[in-house]
């Protein structure tokens, strides 16, 4: 997930710790092991695991000025990542090259486009300019597409309609939106139906629709999942009361998978929602861990990054089976700060380490 996805996550978590637990208990209900979301989700499909992963981790240091954010596999067989005012490329053998973004803005989410290029979001710049959508060719040529005033795009994905879809969480006084950009640069905008909607993570579902996640409300946020069809029809699904999320991925089982935390930013769980609307939740072993990114792996499992507030423990890469069994693999670098995660073109799991300025992979 994107650089500013993690930034907003940290700010949101910090602000919520100031809210009284007593107040939250009075407003929000508890949650059980599972609950039913309505209406139901479309039926997904299953896939066959293609690669067994043992959990061995290797790391590749980046140049000193490069702090990686989001990461994705490219159509050229390499991994691509955003890193501040640059976009980086790393080969499966660890050869790294970075490309400067022309504007004074920072890259956020990144996704492989249907045109053989990489597409990424550019957050609002320090001088107040609106965010942009960037495109970089495998050889490193960057083009930018301007957005309307006040835009601040976060996460991006490719839809089955061969267009790029991205989230804009808005502000405390401005409703968030979903936008679509074609590979020729034509932009469409879809306002959300709920006041104070703030979408962050987005993915393409097995049903051909786009699914995105975030929250509704500013004072006591309510975790929310949305679905938008390629023609722009939006449906809203509440998450478990008292929980919110910033990231989402489509699973090999046809379900949507996402990490979720309580409104204090702790007690993380990995959750999935079935095509019939059934939400299942699985707590991560360390309640102080912060799940930052999530992806479907080539082995038929879901993989996630796990940072920790416990200074005696390293960050971890987590694996959860479809039935909820969790395994964890500590990073070699102490407190490396694992963030975004993706399955690689080489059958490995690749991830970014924000705090140690590294890219890692797991085999």
pLDDT at 41 over 60: no
Q: How many CB atoms are located within 10 Å of the residue 26 CB?
A: 8
Whole-number pLDDT of residue 42: 31
Domain residues of the chain, as ranges? 3-25+36-358
pTM of the model: 0.87
- The predicted model gives 239-260 an average pLDDT of 95
Rounded to an integer, what distance in angstroms lies between the CA atom of residue 87 and that of residue 71?
10
Report the CATH superfamily, name and number, of domain 3-25+36-358: YVTN repeat-like/Quinoprotein amine dehydrogenase (2.130.10.10)
- Per-residue pLDDT of 302-356, as tens digits, reads 999 999 765 556 799 999 999 999 999 999 988 889 999 999 999 999 999 998 9
Give pLDDT tens digits for 117-144: 999 999 866 566 788 999 999 999 999 9
What is the chain's percent helix, strand, coil content, to nearest 5?
Answer: 5, 45, 50
- Quick check: 155 and 166 in contact, CB under 8 A? yes
DSSP assignment string, 265-326: S-S-EEEEE-TT-EEEEEE-S-TTEEEEEEEE-TTSSEEEEEEES-TTS--EEEEE-TT--E
Per-residue pLDDT reduced to its tens digit, 225-244: 999 999 999 999 999 999 99
pLDDT score for 248: 97
Q: To which residue do tokens 């240091």 refer?
A: 61
The whole-number pLDDT of residue 173 equals 79
Contact 362, 55 (CB under 8 A): yes
pLDDT band at 48 (very low <50, low <70, confident <90, very high): low
- Indicate the burial class of 184 (C-beta count within 10 angstroms; 0-12, 13-18, 19 or more): exposed
SS3 197: strand
Question: Confidence class of residue 213 from pLDDT cuts 50, 70 and 90?
Answer: very high
pLDDT mean across residues, the chain: 85
pLDDT band at 198 (very low <50, low <70, confident <90, very high): very high
% pLDDT > 90, the chain: 66
């Amino acid at each position: 997930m994107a650089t500013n996805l993690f930034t907003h996550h940290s700010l949101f978590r910090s602000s919520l710790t100031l809210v009284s637990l007593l107040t939250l208990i009075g407003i929000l209900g508890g949650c059980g092991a599972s609950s039913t979301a309505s209406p139901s989700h479309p039926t997904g499909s299953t896939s066959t695991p293609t690669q067994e992963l043992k959990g061995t981790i290797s790391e590749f240091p980046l140049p000193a000025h490069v702090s990686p954010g989001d990461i994705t596999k490219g159509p050229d067989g390499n991994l691509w990542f955003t890193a501040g005012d640059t976009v980086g490329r790393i080969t499966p053998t660890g050869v790294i090259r970075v490309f400067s973004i022309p504007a004074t803005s920072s890259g956020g989410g990144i996704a492989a486009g249907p045109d053989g290029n990489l597409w990424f979001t550019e957050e609002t710049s320090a001088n107040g300019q609106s965010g942009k959508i960037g495109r970089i060719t495998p050889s490193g040529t960057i083009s930018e597409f301007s957005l309307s005033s006040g835009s601040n795009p976060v996460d991006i994905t490719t839809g089955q309609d061969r267009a790029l879809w991205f989230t804009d969480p808005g502000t405390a006084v401005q409703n968030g939106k979903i936008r679509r950009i074609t590979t020729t640069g034509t932009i469409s905008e879809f306002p959300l139906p709920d006041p104070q909607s703030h979408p962050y993570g987005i993915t393409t579902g097995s049903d051909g629709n786009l699914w995105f996640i975030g929250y509704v409300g500013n004072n006591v946020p309510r975790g929310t999942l949305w679905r938008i069809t390629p023609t722009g029809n939006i449906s809203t699904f509440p998450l478990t009361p008292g929980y919110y999320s910033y990231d989402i991925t489509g699973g090999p089982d046809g379900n949507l998978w996402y990490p979720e935390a309580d409104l204090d930013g702790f007690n993380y769980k990995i959750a999935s929602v079935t095509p019939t609307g059934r939400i299942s939740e699985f707590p991560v072993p360390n309640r102080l861990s912060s799940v930052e990114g999530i992806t479907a792996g080539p082995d038929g499992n879901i993989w996630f990054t796990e940072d920790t507030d416990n200074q005696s423990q390293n960050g971890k890469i987590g694996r959860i089976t479809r039935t909820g069994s969790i395994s964890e693999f500590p990073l070699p670098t102490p407190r490396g700060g694992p963030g975004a995660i993706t399955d690689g073109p080489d059958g490995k799991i690749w991830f970014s380490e924000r705090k140690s300025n590294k890219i890692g992979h797991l085999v």
